[in-house]
Amino acid sequence: MTYTPPKLITFEQFLVEYGDNPRYELIDGELRDMEPTGPHEEVSGNIAGRIYTEILRTHLNWLIPKTCLIKHPRAEATALRPDVIVLDKEKLGQEPLWQKKLIICNGNTIKLVAEVVSTNWQDDYARKVEEYAFLEIPEYWIIDFRGLGGLQFIGNPKQPTFTVCQLVNGIYQQQQYRLGDSIYSYLFPNLDLKLDDIMP
């Protein structure tokens, strides 16, 4: 039996072939199918709605685009597409690609990213933790509403888990929440949120 490595593609190829398709992202030249389902999209929408309501309530100059890509400045063949992303409107003027394409290049434009876990959970719990920390994104939420993550990430027995990662000295400090727990966000300290509220 022989192993055939996946065909690698460049960032430019990805933009041409998949840039407008919210189903795909690119990690180290490998195309990743984000496998969105109805329940996955429902949870993403619930999260975005809760955050946007809090942005309006507290008069923050932030926005949540429907979709956008994050191009890591030092990764030539990586284009991440978070399920939910919160951007600082004041920093958008410093984004070299934003006016023509929905691409963010500077980590300091991003206030928060949220990923709703799919069957490719390894990306959300491992790779993206490193990528988002390197970009110095202050807060990263991992919403594992089906309890798919590995035991080392969500514990045993597996259960729905909401992980808030707060950036401290370049490393994410992680706090896990289960059904019934009140979730605390450092960016939105008065946000009234439980995992129960966003479940499909």
Token pair, residue 116, equals 């709703």
**In angstroms, rounded to a whole number, what is the distance separating the alpha carbons of residues 88 and 82?**
16
User: What is the average pLDDT across 167-188?
Assistant: 96
Token pair, residue 99, equals 């006016």
**In angstroms, rounded to a whole number, what is the distance separating the alpha carbons of residues 70 and 19?**
11
pLDDT of residue 2: 56
Give the tens place of pLDDT for each residue, 25-84: 998 899 988 878 899 999 999 999 999 999 999 999 999 999 899 997 777 889 999 999
Mean pLDDT of the chain: 92
SS3 of residue 30 by DSSP: strand
Sequence-distant (6+) residues with CB within 8 A of 75 are: 28, 131
User: What is the average pLDDT across 126-141?
Assistant: 94
